Structure 1
């Protein structure tokens, strides 16, 4: 039989727990309002109601944190909401089941990162693991605001001390402080914007808080090797003991290709008869097949690699692990940098140098974009300023044509000794005799 009595502080306080089970004392004033006496001695206020033919029970406050009077007032509010057709537990269930940032990260990685290049996907995973997940943790997708996005990107732009590990084993590294990373902040912002674009598409929220995030100023690195530096680099490569790594660097310089494209090149990609290299979509940054002509010098390297003793190996530069290409050449490049005295030059700067040499040879920006495999013209525009020299030569030619010709002027005393015609006071031109 249902236990009913008007709930008071005394009733709730004196209710004794029953061993082995919980029980309720229902209030006589508000329908469905009760206090539940737990077997362990705890007490909480509940509201029983029916919604869509189902019996439901909502627990909304514990005693003594909630007084009986406050609980009864809340029960009346909930009862009015129920009588109007609402379901108080539906909101709580929806909140409990609402997607969180961790859910968004998981689905984003499953549906989006699988279509990206391997290095790009790994880089985005690193951003989510190091920045996004730690900052927002278990926040709901709907809870993240544009303010939260700005705070996150500000923190990323400030940089962090290197290295990441707490106890570096190098004193110089221990003393190395944080370095601002505005470019990294922009890349994280792009990832966040893309993630929330998917959230909007999936109906997880109505707007994108990262849309139009504040971009930090980026200063593109512009480092081009001079003719003297190119000569020193060539000399250092000629004297290198690791001929395989040296040829990788040479191919980067001769073709303008990215080092990853060169490392993963296969013999079948080259047509030595027509001097061309067809890069498969799996190795290019733009994820498209990229066919480019190569010079005879680059073809010589390919022929030399064909003669190397690697039976059945498809890779132009096979690695130490059987069946895989060379994985990295950074240690080799460090040695070459010192030997050639170009320690501020990255391997990727060889690609910029290749483009600068094309410009000096009269190539157009469109031609450079095609050779480098740029998918957007704005990427090639970074080399536009290198075309100032031929343009300046044209401007100088116009100035030279417009400049008045020099005239020979004679003194009166020596005019008779000159061979140039002159005018006499009478206006008649005479020649020297």
Structure 2
């Protein structure tokens, strides 16, 4: 009959084990894995170990980890590995060192940021590194100090579920970072187990298709023209380039005579030639007269030397655009007189936050659907999508759009590579004219006159 100290380890049974007597340490033996023990101290600390005799030598104990931080499944897995080492004639001391020296998630994460290479052999970009570091800091702290083999799928599911309550997209991003780090660890032979991110169900993430509609463009252009970063937002729209590339746009990469902007490296790991419409060239020439000796089109005071964070300015643009759209609606349904409208416009210009509180309260009282006027869901990245959408509206093929926006897909890459810039330039120019006409800035077949700030 088996002893009371010989049991099939399970979470419930081990949690129920009492502390040992004072001055003694109780030892329990797993009936499923040879040599696997759980030792319980008088203070109630429970520690897994494996106790085995070396071939032709003395017994040795290899400490595995504390319960419940180390689960029964993890302990059995580690014990099996140690047993295999012993059966092969290995030294359990080496097995002990391997377990103790296994890197933590945080250590592998740091190595991942430094040494990970993309498919084209280039290192991770600085922005990508910052984004990954933010994910670690905000969501993955519970596993930062844990050794890789001690992180379970249950741990990752718990983190994913917790983050999902705040943001489904960020929860998926945290899961992707964990998966990437474990894949890197496997590639570097730092980890031989199964990634705990495998089979964790992602949240459904509908593809985003937001872009500036024709009815929104007049308000958007007017608000952009009032912004301290008006040139930045206009060039982001007129080039369709990624925000990070526009922020770091350098004069040396621009050929205004040829109307081409050369981006040495984009997010997808490839260079890009961006065609510049006449309006974009006009904006750049105006900026050249105001940027002094800075090598960047949009200088900044930080260590990068260029503009880093335009989100606050963009929020102000969207607030003004939304308010003016709301005021037009209120006036159109007879809720604002001409005099009241003039006062409202002054409030929007002088104190947009206070104006927003006032007139949104009026809209709520009148049960006006925010979808009629609210544009605050428009993101800076949607400017890029806006150009592509207007290209599609004006008849451009998917291949042309992909080339102008530097999209990279397995199916279309070969087609993009065969295209020259002439049809791309024509498509971008056509889309630009259509947007300007919709915004009321230019009439068809007339010479373009952009907002004053662009031509100053």
1:402-417 equivalences in 2 (<5 Å): none
Correspondence for 1:237 among 216, 224, 227: 224
Counterpart position of 1:318: 299
Task: Choose the corresponding residue for 2:178, options 192, 210, 214.
Answer: 192
CA, structure 1 residues 315+83, in 2 after alignment: closer, same or farther (shift >3 Å)?
Answer: closer
Q: Which segments of 5 or more consecutive residues in structure 1 lack a partner in the other structure?
A: 1-46, 61-80, 160-180, 381-433
C-alpha deviations, 1:123-152, integer Å up to 9, x for none? 1112223333x3235433223333433333
8 A Cα contact 1:141 1:205, kept in partner? no
CA change 1:94–1:286 in 2 (3 A) is: closer
Partner of 1:118: 126
State yes or no: 1:372 paired with 2:372: no
Q: Do the aligned partners of residues 325 and 369 (structure 1) sit closer, same or farther apart at CA in structure 2, a change above 3 Å counting? A: same
- Match of 1:106, SS state, is helix
SS in 1 for 2:379: coil
What's the offset of the Cα at 1:323? 7.6
Alignment partners' CA distance in 2, 1:158 and 1:317: 37
Is 1:254 the counterpart of 2:238? The answer is yes
Distance 1:183 1:305, change over 3 A: same
Contact 1:258–1:351 (CA under 8 A) maintained in structure 2: yes
Residues 62, 93 of structure 2: 8 Å contact kept = no
| CA distance in structure 2 between the partners assigned to 1:370 and 1:247 by the alignment | 24
Structure 1 residue aligned with 2:158 = 151
2-side partners of 1:246 and 1:105: how far apart? Answer: 38
Which moves more between the two structures, 296-305 or 221-230?
221-230
2:314 to 312, 325, 333: 333
Q: Which has the higher contact order (CA 8 A, sep 6+)?
A: 2
Match 1:298 to one of 242, 267, 280: 280
| Contact residue 291 and residue 299 of structure 2 kept, 8 A | no
SS in structure 2 of the partner of residue 278 of structure 1: strand
State the partner residue of 1:128.
136
For the residue of structure 2 that corresponds to 1:318, the secondary structure is coil
Q: How does 1:245-284 map to 2 (within 5 A)?
A: 245-281=229-265, 284=266
Q: CA distance change for structure 1 residues 91 and 379 in 2, over 3 Å: closer, same or farther? A: same
Partner of 2:273, secondary structure, is: strand
Determine if the alignment matches structure 1 residue 349 to structure 2 residue 382. Answer: yes
Task: Spell out, residue by residue over 1:408-427, the C-alpha distance to the aligned partner (whole angstroms, 9 max, x if none).
Answer: xxxxxxxxxxxxxxxxxxxx
Q: State the 1:208 CA deviation.
A: 3.0
Per-residue Cα deviation, 1:140-191 (whole angstroms, up to 9, x for no partner): 32233334333332222222xxxxxxxxxxxxxxxxxxxxx12112222221
Secondary structure, in 3 states, of the residue corresponding to 2:205?
coil
Distance of 1:340 and 1:183 partners within structure 2? 27
SS of the counterpart of 2:130? helix
Match 2:188 to one of 185, 189, 202: 202
Q: What is the alpha-carbon distance in structure 1 between the residues aligned to residue 175 and residue 88 of structure 2?
A: 44
| Equivalent pair of 2:106/2:145 in contact (CA under 8 Å) | yes
Q: Which blocks of at least 5 consecutive residues in structure 2 are unaligned?
A: 1-50, 64-84, 323-374, 414-456
Alpha-carbon RMSD across the aligned residues, in angstroms, is: 3.6
- CA distance, structure 1, for counterparts of residue 396 and residue 87 of structure 2: 78
* Cα contact 1:200–1:207 (8 A) shared by 2: no
Structure 1's 151 and 378: CA in aligned 2 closer, same or farther, altered over 3 A?
farther
SS in 1 for 2:216: helix
- TM-score for the superposition, normalised by structure 1: 0.58
Distance, in Å, in 1 between the alignment partners of 2:260 and 2:211 is 25
TM-score normalised by L of structure 2: 0.55
How far off is 1:237 after superposition? 3.1
